[in-house]
Structure 1
Amino acid sequence: MVGRDADLSRLNERLDEVRAGAPFTVVIGGEAGIGKTRLIREFQLGLPSDVRLLAGQCVDLGSVAAPYAPVKAALRTLVAEVGPERVLEAAGPGRSALAALLPELAAAETAITAMAAPAGGGAATGQLHEGIAVLLETFSRERPIVFAIEDLHWVDAATLALLRFLMRALGSSRVLTVLTYRSEDVTRGHPLRPFLSEAERDRWVERLDLSRLTRAQVRKLTRSLIGEAPTDKVIDTVFSRSDGVPFFVEELVGLDGCRDESGLPDTLRELLLARYERLSEGAQALLRVVSVGGVRISHALLEAVFDGTAGELDLAARESVLAGVLTIDGDDYTFRHALVREAILADLLPGERARFHARYAEAYETAAAAGTRRLAAEISFHWLGAHDAARAFPAAIQAMREARAAAAFATAAQLGERALGLWDVVPDPVGAAGMVKLELMGRTASHLRNAGEGERSLALVKAALAECPRDDPQYPRLLRDKAVYLANVGRPGSIPVLEDALEALGEHGSSELRMTVLTVLAGRFMIEGRLDEAVDTAERALAAALEIDSPRYASIATNVAAVSRASRGEVEAGLRGLERARELAEGDGSALLRYWVNASDLQFLVGNHHEAVRLAEAGLEQARAQGVERSSGVILASNAVDPLFALGEWDRAAALIERALALDPPGPFGVYLQRARIWAILWLGEPVRAAEELRGVRSVMTEIMKVETQTRLSVSRVTAEIALANGDIAEAWREAKRVLDRGDVPLPGYGLPLIWVAARVIGAARAGAVERAGGLPDVLTAEISAAEPELRAALDRMHGWPTHALWAAFFDAELAEAPGSTAGSDAAAWQAAAKEAAAPTAPGYLAPYALLRQGEAELACGDRASAKVTLQSALDLALSGGVGAVRDRVSRVATAAGLALEGGMGAGRAKTAGGGAPGIAGAAASDDLATAELTARERQVLELIAEGLSNRQIGERLFISGKTASVHVSAILRKLGAATRTEAAYRAGVLR
């Protein structure tokens, strides 16, 4: 432990923070031999008795590691401590997925519940991830947990995805996650590299990079090893040969004659093999066998693969342990260092290596047949190492199935690709796989899709289609999959592919497949705004579902038809259809979630905000119960956010967004949340920051906008509003005019607000805001102004929508002109708009905005008395509703006009519900509530943060260490829900 005191102290400091309720992750990196494992062991040995240690180690199985291997080892420790029943109970809705991961839990899981299997492949991953997160959170309330995973350079894709999820989702736990990796093995293209890059941006993650020892530290280590002060010559030798790597120092000092140049190995390989080569032939033979098995191997497995007697094995193992090559850990033998294992493995003869791999494969096959553990990945790996493709192939197929059952889709895809690579070199691949090649390609593509590898899944299904004759039964199924994968990656073209699939099915194709193709096609028509075709196709899908008695698809088809009808103006019919979809879905979790998603969205769009929130939250509760919060739950959370904004409950919405984003939702789901989050930043009074946040995610949004009309309209609205707020009229018009891209504007619930924003752009251009923004070409000014009739026509086409009167009043007010004045200057028009905004179906932020504009119009016509009353009302509503953007503008207008209002900029914050979240509720958070939880010392630190001091400078000012200051800063950020030091100071009111 020489030279590692500071690193050990850092781990203990982080553990103290975790005890206090702040989960943390420490990632320890460094080159081979630098002391990562030694540091972890020392930390673990010093853990207090009330801390629970759950540890696992990644396994070296080449490019396709066994899925979740280190996580299984850690969880089995927990199962052994508390029993399977308690583990499954704590996992909640994820218990069935957890039982799939650990088959030995299956009996207990059956006894506890008869829960149905996950509704779909993608949901299973979410169930497992959430189940493990809930499990760790639950047990961490009893005792703090250290969750340690070593050797991430060998990590499997499934474990890496889980760790990424846990780093975001363990927000209310007492879990210290400690990860290690060998830095030189994480080369370009290694899957760990993006993971490490993400970790660097997370304030709850710390990277520790272990450095080499200095000459003085090498001297200290050498003295501790030899028991006396070394000579300068010895230190010269050891330091120059070891380069300060602790493991090499130990190896050099452990060799006879290490105190001078004679007897020292000339190369690193010779150094690593020096102890090995001094052993007897029997011990060397044992170590050669062990090296093929990995860094760690159980005694039982070693007995099965070693060709000597039990006595010879014990003798050779004892010699290897005494020589410091192997160590004993429970019932396992491990190499004292992985580098030694790798050196011995590299020294094997080709024939030796193949024979040993075959022994391991046979031993694993025997163990798999006798027990409950899934070992097909190991079997496949070792048969490949034995150059026996015929036996590796069926093992790869079985391993793919096992990985799929454990929701390890990335690993399942890798194994599927391995099997495809072996297809042409094994006899009777169809018989061995139990499927034709096209089916294997289709399944592998599906696994890639569920693993988030959208482009690769699309490429593979295209390759399958290229090999598939049109009259093959697989052809329409592959076309359906291609259409789904195109939509997943945000590419157009799904609709013609689905229509081709229907044509390929003909009259005699699979009825079930036809039903699914029609359902997907109806959904794509709906999403792309082709509403008449959506209704017709959904009706055909419903007929097909009823024909084969599929209530789930009958519900989904009815759901799509209902939403499409509502979007083309038949709102009452749409609402009735949704209720029918709910009745058909009764008892089917997947179909019910679709009902809650679309019903809550439609209720919001027609102005029933309380009902929208109720439905979304009811659905979200069920999504959590089903273990699919990361997929369907995220959509439902986003559906609750907009009506909560409309009700003025900014903080409650912020808490939902923070929780949902912490779940690391896939592509489109994250876009919905980011759009809402950025819009809230704007209306809470931070237009510059909103623009910065938008730039960070716009490229992702653009891809989704290509294929989703509602996303195109809602993101365009946010972008245009941000551009307006920042004086960029040209950009605002580029986005707002998207509402005119189609002759018949679809989706009035999304189109009407964008038409209002377009009117604001026209009004700004006419009122001369373009000069203040730096000027606008005359031709563009003319284009913007000339768009009014077309916008009015679009507005008129939506006259049947329930909220049409509201948006029409605001449209008129934005463009109405008082005599001799400019657009938006008619106080009477704004008074009418304010009256519409007082209706319960109107979003709450519109009323103070309308009164602000009315007050401005009254000032413009010289009616200062009326303006003062109106602006005061606008300010009161803005403060009570948390509408920071209106509050700020009212204060600027009143100040410029010399009007004294009560409750201006410095009068305090609006009161809002909930606890707030970073990046959204900052402008509306209560100062008193925000700082109530801070200790006296933390308040002192916060004042110094506001002065711009670093942790070291804060420590000097308060006579504490910089590390202690850092702990205080971390606690302040967590308590205030702030992303940065500046935001923390602003939230607490010490920086305005």
Structure 2
Amino acid sequence: MTGEPRVVSGDGHVAGAGAGIGPRVASGAGARTGVGGRWHDGIVTTSTSSPLLIGRSGELARLHEAFEQANAGTPHTVLVGGEAGIGKSRLLDAFLADVAGQARVLVGQCVDLGSVASPYAPIKSVLRSLVADVGAPELLAAAGPAQGVLAALLPELGAAGADVDTPSVRGQLHEAVAVILETFSRETPIVVVIEDIHWIDSASLSVLRFLERVLSGGRILLVLSVRTEDVTRGHPVRGFLSEVERSRSVDRIELSRLTRVQVRRQLKAIAGEAPSDALVSTLFARSDGIPFFVEELFDLEACADGGALPDTLRDLLLSRYERLSDETQRVLRIIAIGGVRVEHDLITSVVALSAEQLDDAVREAVSAGVLAIDGDAYAFRHALVREAVLFEVLPGERPRYHSGYARAYESRAGERRVAAEISFHWLSAHDDARAFPATIAAMREARQTYAYATAAQMGERALELWPRVEDARELAGMDRFELVGRTASYLRNAGEEERALQVARHGLEECPTDNPHYARLLRDAALYRAALGRPGAIEELTEALRLVDPADATLAMTITTALAGRLMIDGRVDDALQAADRAHAMAVGAKRTAYASVSANIAAVSHAHRGELDAARAGLKQARQLAENEPNALLRYWVNASDLAYLLGEFAEAIGLAEEGMERARGYGVERNSGVVLASNAIDPLQAVGEWERADALIRRGLELDPPRVFQVYLLRARAWGMLWRGDVAAAAEAMRSLRPMAAPYVDIEVQTRLGIARVAAEVAIASEDWASAARELSPLFADDPAPAPGHALPLLWDAARVISAAPAAMPQPASRIRAQLASFTAWPTHDLWKAFIDAELTDDSETAVVAWSLAVEAARSPRAAVYLRPYALLQRARALIAGGARAEARTALDEAISAAESAGVGWIVGEAEKTAVRAGLTSGRVEPGSQVDDLTARERQVLELIAEGLSNRQIGERLFISGKTASVHVSAILRKLGASSRTEAAMRSAALR
């Protein structure tokens, strides 16, 4: 790196030339920046700038703190915001100069191409910098199985492109970027700088969102700069900023304007001598403390002789430009049209000048401090200057210059993907005939790099141009309704299901029903509707199947398969089985093994829900064999096979299948989609066997990935259930209240969600002794007779029996209805287990109840029983003993229930057992002789009261103004003195002893 920083005193800091010079070249160990306005091999400028960084010592220190955290192995993100000219780039220059010898710096510059920017522009810049530093082979090796996807983004890597049929390759690209950064950060800390994210393209924004969530290891600092005033309401970056600011790993630095004292110091650093009070007053008033404006105003000769200053900001920004020759001004207007950073070779194709004339013009602009040289490209000294020069472009010049750039990009189209740039310039030149094919090409390029949001934007742009272009069908190479379908599909893949549905529905309104694309659009609209949790998907798929051209066997097969899947999910298993069998026959006849596997899978699950388990197991085995080389079908197998194993009570098998699928999902790069579903399928059996921490880790990871909404519902449901049985009933109730609006649409169309939400909500109400609410939550169980999905229905029947046992008047369904439902599930492997519990709940006589709960205790020893069932049965047996007057035996039984519950991590049972002991006037046999609340110190009593309120150590510390660690010491002392093994037990024993 050229130009080593010098040590200065105060809050001044030596940095690159000029405040906010703009683009920097970065590779290897650091960015190449200029010092003191000298010519060198990085950015070249001769602008009047302060050699010191004024008024930013605190912000610079925060950047260094973030770097130290990242260097210690905790990835960190810093957002540097502020208005134009405030010195964001200058601050970053100073920081990068400091860390140049300690870190590998990778810089990406966002490109201003209007509403649809070139996909992955800053990400490609970052990766190309890394390739230049470590080499293509090493980068590809780090990418692992995502090499093909990475090569699709950077064709110059030379690896084979990814198979377009690979599932959700967009997610694979995101994970590849994360893995690459984590891998190389093990050698050297990495600082990734993305500048001007107010211009960022949607694909790059998606990558940043992913990185901020998932980077959990590696020495990585992500620094983003944003012009705050440009991120207005509705701007896509606005939501991103709101999201990341809530993260503990994100620090936001908002640069403020300089004070009068700081402006004086800045002027002294520029001039080398103390400025007069009059000059400071004038420049401080006119610049409003914005460093870039201070420098621009100081450069005007009028400041020195007291002459008139520019009346407007635009006049100020153009003051240097207007001193230049007419030829140089014209070159600057052409460069301004070209973008934020324009390569020299591109300019030579647009400017009608000889090489010498162009060099002279550029040299004059650089000498005047208007233009900077950045490697082999040109950039304005500041983005504000470019924007001011853009206003100087005449209406007649604008289309001519844009046309020149479009042709120049067309001449290099084979070198790199530049269709987005060509489309932008032809549109800006108002040449629709040329813009249309360029836009179609840009759509295809974006799709090839899995930038689905950009592909959709280009598709919508092409649809707008369609009626204004002759021979649009021939130019596009497709029918307009095919373009509608593709655009909707790209929107769906970009996570814009609502917009995808709107586009598909709009296409259906215009498309004749006899058009071959109508049935396809109807199928797609049905799938988008289902993804949004909207009803009507089954009806639309049925209609699409009726209208499909009989000659289009492939489309008929896909519609039938989709219909079978929706019917299964809705609980209409007989209809699902018939549709799946038809789809399977079609797939086998067409030799489409992926669809044959999926249809066999759907049929197998339908057989299972009818209690035909031999047919279900045979069908899943067949689905697995057919899916061997079909990633989508293979993932579908793991999802359904692991879910069925859990419902059958085969917990170890369920965990193994889910984890196997999760590993493959990560390899495919679809951890955010199929991987999250498989994670949720692992969470339920993990909780069932008492692996609460492993389950929590999967929930946290899944939510960090920001999966589709329905998958979030699965995770949040499992989290609430875990909170409940571990003893935090209030938190579980709050979690369910928050979850309901999100889950509501899927409750209406998915039987598994309907019954899963009903179960957690009912059990939360039972734990809160809100029997009427519990009975209301259980109503979906009795909507159909017999209830579908026995694996889901059986525990709900137990919950219904619990309500009848505690509050018979609250439950509208009689015990006979529950027993009749139970009798319909005798073929299900867990039937006998649940029957033992239901029989015990419905037993009225106390003496008989002791026997019934003893049988339930034995039934709970089954490997198909979840860990909470045995402690629950022991507790209920103790309550039956109390009711029968066997107090001594009951106290022993309570101790046994508590021990079993603590061993399994089932805190709710511990609390219930302690409450039972208090109500019955019993104390646990484990209380040490002489243990009294009086033994506690005054502070310990305070802590005990807060324990009883359910506060954590951290919350106790905040309430008592002590550290969480000190609170933990007090808690340990309390447990020891009271002979309690848990916080809940301590609170209950203190009440009993008092």
Q: TM-score range by the shorter chain?
A: 0.7 to 0.9
Give the match for residue 897 of structure 2. 874
State, as a whole percentage, how many aligned pairs show the same letter. Answer: 53
1:666-706 alpha-carbon deviations (Å, 9 max, x no partner): 12122111111121111111111122222333211112212
Q: CA deviation at 1:729?
A: 2.9
Q: 1:732 deviation in Å?
A: 2.2
1:946 to 948, 957, 964: 957
- The residue aligned with 1:62 is 114
1:894 to 900, 910, 917: 917
> Are 2:617 and 1:545 equivalent residues in the alignment?
no
1:747 aligned onto 2:789: yes
The residue that corresponds to 2:684 in the other structure is 642
Report if aligned partners of 2:169, 2:668 keep a CA contact under 8 Å in 1.
no
| Residue of structure 2 equivalent to 1:422 | 465
Is the aligned partner of 1:701 residue 2:743?
Answer: yes
User: Partners in 1 of 2:250 and 2:840 — Cα distance?
Assistant: 51
Distance 1:854 1:425, change over 3 A: same
Whole-angstrom distance in 2 between the partners of 1:615 and 1:804: 23
Cα shift readout 1:178-237 (whole Å, capped 9, x = no counterpart)? 111111111111111111111121111111111111121112112212222222221221
Q: Deviations over 1:752-781 (max 9, x none)?
A: 112222222333324xxxxxxxxxxxxxxx
Q: Partners of 2:336 and 2:451 in 1: how far apart?
A: 27
> In structure 1, which of residues 814, 828, 831 is the aligned counterpart of residue 851 of structure 2?
828
Q: Does 2:64 align with 1:12?
A: yes
> Counterpart in 2 of 1:155?
200
Name the SS of the counterpart of 2:901 in structure 1.
helix
Aligned pair in 2 of structure 1 residues 901, 198: CA closer, same or farther (>3 Å)?
A: farther
| Cα offset, 1:645, TM superposition | 1.0
Aligned counterpart, 2:578:
536
* CA apart distance, 1:829: 2.0
TM-superposed deviation, 1:828: 2.1
3-state SS in 2 of match to 1:706: helix
Give the Cα separation in 1 of the matches to 2:849 and 2:105: 70
| 1:435 partner SS | coil
Q: 1:585 aligns with which of 620, 627, 649?
A: 627
CA change 1:903–1:313 in 2 (3 A) is farther
Aligned length: 898
Q: Is the Cα contact below 8 Å between 2:775 and 2:810 reproduced in 1? A: no
Paired with 2:551 and 2:503, the residues of 1 have a C-alpha distance of 24
- Name the stretch that deviates more: 734-743 or 480-489: 734-743
Q: Distance in 1 between matches of 2:319 and 2:773?
A: 70
**Structure 1 residue 260: Cα displacement:** 6.6
* Counterpart among 805, 812, 818 of residue 791 in structure 1: 818
Asked if the contact 2:771/2:810 (under 8 Å) is kept, the reply is: no
Indicate conservation of the 8 Å contact 2:804/2:810, yes or no: no
The one-letter code sitting in structure 2 at the alignment partner of 1:902 is R
Residue 594 in structure 1 maps to residue 624 in structure 2: no
Aligned-residue offset at 1:146: 0.8
Q: Is the 8 A contact 1:894 1:901 kept in 2?
A: no
Q: Which runs of 5+ in 1 are unaligned?
A: 767-781, 908-922, 924-929, 931-941, 955-964, 970-985
Q: Distance in 2 between matches of 1:460 and 1:564?
A: 33
AA aligned opposite 1:552: A
AA at the equivalent of 2:126: A
Given that 1:872 and 1:901 are in contact with CA atoms closer than 8 Å, whether structure 2 keeps it comes out as: yes
Q: Let me know the Cα RMSD of the aligned residues.
A: 2.4
Query: Secondary structure of 1:368's match?
Result: coil
2:338 aligned partner: 293
CA distance in 1, matches of 2:577, 2:566: 11
Cα shift at 1:945: 8.6
Question: Aligned partners of 1:50 and 1:654: how far apart in 2?
Answer: 36
The question of whether the paired residues in 2 share the 8 Å contact of 1:740 and 1:791 is answered with: no
**Aligned residue among 756, 766, 769 for 1:724:** 766
- 1:119 matched residue in structure 2: 166
In structure 1, distance between residues paired with 2:648 and 2:143: 39
Give the CA deviation at 1:948: 5.1
Deviation by residue 1:394-435 (Cα, 9 ceiling, x = unmatched): 010010011111111111110000000000111110111001
Q: Displacement, 1:6?
A: 0.5
**Residue type of the alignment partner of 2:599:** A
Q: 1:947 Cα deviation (Å)?
A: 4.2
Change (3 A) 1:92 1:279: same
Report the alpha carbon displacement of residue 746 of structure 1 after superposing the two structures with TM.
0.6
How far the C-alpha of 1:723 sits from its partner, in A, is: 2.4
Match of 1:305 among 346, 350, 354: 350
Shift of 1:514: 0.8
Residue matched to 2:841: 814
Distance 2:843 2:800 in 1: 14
TM-score normalized by the length of structure 1? 0.88
Q: Partners in 1 of 2:909 and 2:215 — Cα distance?
A: 37
Deviations 1:113-160 (A, max 9, x none): x9744434xx11111111111111111111111111111111111111
* Distance change in 2, residues 1:188/1:843 (3 Å): same
Tell me what 1:979 maps to: none
- Spell out, residue by residue over 1:702-755, the C-alpha distance to the aligned partner (whole angstroms, 9 max, x if none): 122121110110011111222222343333222122211223311111111122
The equivalent residue for 1:93 is 145
Measured after TM superposition, the shift of residue 262 of structure 1 is 2.3
Q: Deviations over 1:55-101 (max 9, x none)?
A: 10110000001111011101100011111111111112222111111
Aligned partner letter, 1:119: T
Q: Which amino acid aligns with 2:911?
A: D
Are the counterparts in 1 of residues 894 and 924 from structure 2 also a CA contact under 8 Å?
Answer: no
Once residues 761 and 58 of structure 1 are traced to their aligned partners in structure 2, the CA distance between those partners, rounded to angstroms, is: 60
Please tell me whether residue 393 in structure 1 is matched to residue 436 in structure 2: yes
Report the residue type matching 2:957 in the other structure: A
Conserved 8 A contact 1:532-1:564: yes
Deviations 1:783-807 (Å, cap 9, x if unpaired)?
A: 5255433333222222221111212
Cα distance in 2 for partners of 1:367, 1:37 equals 31
Instruction: Tell me which amino acid in the other structure corresponds to 1:190.
Output: H
Q: Which residue of 2 aligns with 1:138?
A: 183
SS in 2 for 1:55: strand
Would the aligned equivalents of 1:762 and 1:785 in 2 still touch at CA under 8 Å? no
Question: Matches of 2:475 and 2:396 in 1, distance apart?
Answer: 27
Match of residue 629, structure 1, among 661, 671, 686: 671
How far, CA to CA, are the matches of 1:947 and 1:485 in structure 2? 47
Is residue 293 of structure 2 the alignment partner of residue 241 of structure 1? no
**Aligned partners of 1:277, 1:753: CA distance in 2, in Å?**
80
Structure 2: which amino acid aligns with 1:577?
A: G
Within-5 A mapping of 1:425-504: 425-504=468-547
Aligned-partner residue type, residue 474 of structure 1? H
Q: Aligned-pair distance for 1:437?
A: 0.5
8 Å Cα contact 1:233-1:260 kept in structure 2: no
Q: Check conservation: 1:566, 1:573, Cα contact below 8 A.
A: yes
- Following the alignment from structure 1 to structure 2, what is the Cα–Cα distance between the partners of residues 229 and 681? 66
Number of the residue aligned with 1:515? 557
Whole-Å separation in 1 of the counterparts to 2:281 and 2:104: 43
CA distance in 2: counterparts of 1:118 and 1:135, whole angstroms: 23
2:831 to 786, 796, 804: 804
Q: Name the structure 2 match of 1:339.
A: 384
- 1:603 aligns with 645
Q: Using the alignment, how far apart are the partners of 1:729 and 1:35 within structure 2?
A: 62
1:891-942: per-residue Cα shift (whole Å, max 9, x none)? 33234433224389xx9xxxxxxxxxxxxxxx9xxxxxx9xxxxxxxxxxx9
**Residue 720 of structure 2 contacts residue 732 of structure 2 at CA under 8 Å; is this kept in 1?**
yes
For 1:473-495, what per-residue CA distance to the aligned partner results, in whole angstroms no more than 9, with x for missing partners?
Answer: 11111111111111111101111
Q: Which residue of 2 aligns with 1:857?
A: 880
Show CA shifts across 1:359-387 (max 9, x none): 11111111113x1x100000000001111
CA distance in 2, matches of 1:716, 1:25: 40
Taking structure 2 as the reference length, the TM-score comes to: 0.87
Mapped partners of 1:944, 1:538: distance in 2: 54
- Name 2:80's counterpart in structure 1: 28
Output the CA distance in 1 between the equivalents of 2:925 and 2:299. 82
The question of whether the paired residues in 2 share the 8 Å contact of 1:714 and 1:754 is answered with no
The answer to whether the aligner puts 1:760 opposite 2:802 as a matched pair is yes
CA contact (8 A) 2:321 2:329 kept: yes
2:85 equivalent to 1:39: no
Kept in 2: contact 1:765–1:785 (CA 8 A): no
Match of 2:229 in 1: 184
Alignment gaps of 5+ in structure 2: 1-52, 932-946, 967-982
